[in-house]
């Protein structure tokens, strides 16, 4: 269910056919991207595929760079096909819709970088690929726009050649893209690929832990995106190089409380921990006009918690009732306008439990 409080929303709500939820163990990937490759070249299973990857909420307050969640009904699409006019082993981006700012050069495009990385993993040398990217997420929104493009492209290449790679390898392919765009952090790309909540236990080696939110519990994300761009690199540049021990202890305890709340389905506890960051949010919030007032408005309206989604400017709040979420979203939109002089759009969304997936294909 989407609620828009402006005439044209930069976000594109979508409806996807239901998919079976995936269950993942912890993933440990000790090999580098260059060493995870197929020993023999694969033949394509399809002539073309279409894939989707969801939006994500990274950090979740105190979980900077190691916690993230996927959001249902928002994201990017990639259509990929075998193209004899493209040089073997290469990717050509033939079309980009939904954004005029992205480069069609695959070496400078999130989807292109991830697609190339996945082709290298699969040892694809004899086939050229044509890629069409449909952006459903605005750039610099704090909803994992670059990760969604990377995840859907990696999945598209993998599916085209028989889905030989595991999700940990697809995350690595997406990380190569993220590293070139916004930094080497997996708290967007991991949930974009895997769905649900994901804990990044380690980067060296990469270790990913899915956190299963109970199916019998209700969780709604209230996402309010203002007409304001917050580039991730700029928002990372304001963060402190060092922090004091009291703040370190506090944030660690709150991150632990957040993980426990996710596993228990305790939305109130999740919200309380979500709101508790004393390290990153205090530095970023002043750069987003009205953010501090929006957080106060969300809590006053009944949200269990509110923080900045990723690097911002989107604000994310949580609740366990959809209708209440609509009311909270309206109060947050009003606060952005009053406190920051920014128009915004509010949406109430569920957790995406599936992650990046194939949604259409044409057999060879």
* C-beta of residue 227 within 8 angstroms of C-beta of residue 342: yes
Q: What are phi and psi for residue 232, nearest 5 degrees?
A: -60, -45
Reported as half-sphere exposure (CB side, CA atoms, 13 A), residue 235 has a value of: 26
Distances in Å between the alpha carbon of 138 and those of 148, 150, 227?
A: 11, 14, 10
Instruction: Mention every residue, 6+ apart, whose C-beta is less than 8 A from residue 253.
Output: none
Strand locations in the chain (E): 2-3, 27-29, 46-58, 67-82, 91-97, 129-134, 197-203, 206-211, 220-226, 305-308, 315-319, 344-349, 357-363
Tell me what pLDDT residue 252 has.
Answer: 97
pLDDT (tens digit, 0 to 9) for every residue of the chain, 364 residues total? 333 333 334 565 566 654 444 444 445 554 444 444 556 789 999 999 999 999 999 999 999 999 999 999 999 999 999 999 999 999 999 999 998 889 999 999 999 999 999 999 999 999 999 999 999 998 888 999 999 999 999 999 999 999 999 999 999 999 999 998 877 899 999 999 999 999 999 999 999 999 999 999 999 999 999 999 877 778 888 999 999 999 999 999 999 999 999 999 999 999 999 999 999 999 999 999 999 999 999 999 999 999 999 999 999 999 999 999 999 999 999 999 999 999 999 999 999 999 999 999 999 8
What pLDDT, on the 0 to 100 scale, is given for residue 9? Answer: 45
């Amino acid at each position: 269910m989407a609620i828009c409080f402006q005439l044209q929303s930069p976000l594109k709500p979508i409806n996807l056919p239901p998919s079976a939820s995936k269950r993942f163990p912890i993933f440990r990937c000790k090999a580098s991207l260059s060493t995870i490759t197929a020993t023999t070249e694969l033949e394509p299973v399809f002539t073309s595929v279409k894939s989707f990857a969801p939006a994500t909420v990274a950090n979740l307050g105190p979980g900077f760079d190691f916690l993230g969640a996927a959001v249902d009904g928002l994201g990017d699409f990639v259509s990929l096909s075998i193209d004899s006019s493209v040089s073997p082993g290469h990717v050509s981006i033939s079309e980009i819709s939904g954004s005029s700012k992205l480069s069609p050069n695959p070496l400078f495009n999130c989807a292109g970088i991830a697609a190339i990385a996945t082709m290298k993993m699969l040892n694809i040398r004899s086939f050229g690929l044509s890629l069409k990217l449909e952006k459903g997420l605005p750039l610099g929104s704090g909803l994992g726009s670059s990760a969604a493009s990377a995840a859907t492209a990696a999945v598209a290449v993998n599916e085209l050649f028989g889905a030989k790679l595991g999700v940990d390898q697809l995350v690595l392919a997406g990380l190569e893209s993220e590293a070139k765009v916004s930094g080497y952090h997996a708290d967007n790309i991991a949930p974009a690929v895997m769905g649900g909540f994901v804990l990044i236990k380690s980067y060296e080696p990469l270790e990913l832990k899915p956190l299963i939110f109970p199916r019998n519990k209700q969780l709604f994300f209230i996402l309010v995106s203002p007409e304001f761009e917050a580039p991730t690199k700029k928002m990372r540049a304001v963060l402190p190089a060092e922090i004091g021990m009291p703040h370190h202890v506090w944030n660690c305890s709150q991150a632990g409380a957040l993980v426990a709340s996710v596993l228990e389905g305790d939305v109130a506890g999740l919200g309380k921990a979500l709101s508790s960051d004393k390290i990153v949010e205090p530095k970023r919030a002043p750069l987003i006009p009205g953010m501090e007032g929006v957080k106060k408005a969300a809590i006053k309206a009944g949200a269990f918690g509110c923080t900045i989604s990723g690097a911002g400017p989107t604000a994310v709040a949580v609740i366990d009732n959809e209708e209440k979420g609509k009311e909270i979203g309206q109060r947050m939109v009003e606060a952005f306008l009053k406190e920051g002089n920014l128009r915004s759009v509010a949406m109430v969304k569920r957790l995406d439990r599936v992650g990046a997936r194939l949604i259409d294909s044409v057999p060879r």
